[in-house]
């Protein structure tokens, strides 16, 4: 209903459609303005963060977005709402989205390539990566480096990987567990929304796992926010395995997903 209302206000509800029944997927171009991304205008309109409410906001070529637009993402990422203020009115739009972003490791794209060489200078790489501020990165749960697919994995004789359909089933099962866990918590549907007050209850970890998490936190300079986020991710990894408890292995995996802090910001 909320998603439908937002799309209706934005005039994006197709004719004859009374209810949005699929999670939205929004992928604005990197030239999008800050009001276009966050919301605004003389007659306040919802931005992409609200159009992606209950769905996915995908930002390709993340460092190419304007610094202002990227920094403006921080508030909705934290509060899951956006307040658009005008001279006389202010309007509140819901904005609970899953942010997925992609970027190259350097301007030419080959910094981490196994065989091609990068022709960027260290200063160029530094400037490029610095477009993603620490506070924005801090609010992202997982940073993964993906290597190029080798041609031997593409041929007809290659082993097929796990199908997206099978992965979907695992994700749906994990979300089901989470829907049950937060049945009585208003507005929370999955681990990423787990309030800090419930961390102790749902992310109880062994003294060994605590030690591991604290060591990673001090070594990579995790903020309190990043620390809590890593805990929530470890809960999700456990859910994907159908495990009731959160083990040291789950915590170790979660920590490993904060690769940007690990590799670039130390």
> Which residues of this protein are in contact with Zn ion, per CB under 5 A?
106, 108, 111, 118, 120
DSSP state of 60: S
Q: Supply 198's token pair.
A: 């419930």
Beta strands in the chain (DSSP E): 25-26, 39-40, 45-46, 56-59, 81-85, 90-94, 98-101
Nearer to Zn ion, 89 or 117 (CB): 117
Cβ 91 to Zn ion shortest distance, Å: 43
Q: Which residues contact 144 (CB under 8 A, 6 or more apart)?
A: 257, 259
Nearest-10 crossing angle of helices 207-220, 248-256: 20
CA 182, 188, 192: angle at the middle one, nearest 5?
A: 100
Nearer to Zn ion, 35 or 107 (CB): 107
Cβ 113 to Zn ion shortest distance, Å: 9
Nearer to Zn ion, 112 or 247 (CB): 112
Do 240 and 249 touch, CB atoms closer than 8 A? no
Nearer to Zn ion, 129 or 226 (CB): 129
Cβ 122 to Zn ion shortest distance, Å: 10
Cβ 112 to Zn ion shortest distance, Å: 9
Nearer to Zn ion, 118 or 210 (CB): 118
Distance of CA 66 to the CA centre of its chain: 18
Cβ 145 to Zn ion shortest distance, Å: 14
């Amino acid at each position: 209903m909320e998603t439908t209302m937002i799309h209706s206000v934005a005039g994006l509800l197709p004719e004859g459609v009374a209810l949005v029944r699929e999670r939205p997927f929004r992928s604005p171009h990197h030239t999008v303005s800050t009001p276009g991304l966050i919301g605004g205008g003389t007659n306040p309109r919802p931005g992409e963060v609200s159009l992606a409410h209950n769905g996915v906001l995908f930002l390709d070529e993340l460092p190419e977005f304007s610094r202002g637009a990227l920094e403006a993402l921080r508030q909705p990422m934290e509060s899951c709402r956006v307040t658009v203020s005008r001279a006389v009115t202010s309007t509140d739009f819901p904005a609970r989205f899953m942010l997925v972003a992609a970027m190259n490791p350097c301007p030419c794209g080959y910094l981490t390539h196994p065989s091609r060489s990068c022709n960027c200078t260290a200063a160029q790489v530094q400037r490029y990566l610095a477009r993603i501020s620490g506070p924005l990165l801090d609010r992202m749960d997982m940073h993964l480096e993906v290597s190029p697919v080798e041609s031997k994995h593409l041929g007809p004789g290659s082993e097929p990987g796990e199908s997206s359909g099978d992965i979907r089933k695992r994700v749906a099962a994990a979300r089901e567990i989470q829907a049950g866990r937060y049945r009585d918590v208003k507005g929370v549907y999955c681990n990423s929304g787990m309030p800090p007050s419930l961390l102790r209850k749902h992310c109880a970890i062994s003294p060994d796992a605590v030690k591991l998490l604290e060591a990673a936190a001090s070594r990579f300079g995790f903020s309190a926010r990043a620390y809590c986020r890593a805990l929530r991710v470890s809960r999700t990894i456990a859910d994907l395995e159908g495990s009731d408890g959160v083990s040291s292995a789950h915590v170790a995996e979660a920590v490993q997903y904060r690769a940007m802090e690990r590799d670039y910001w130390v």
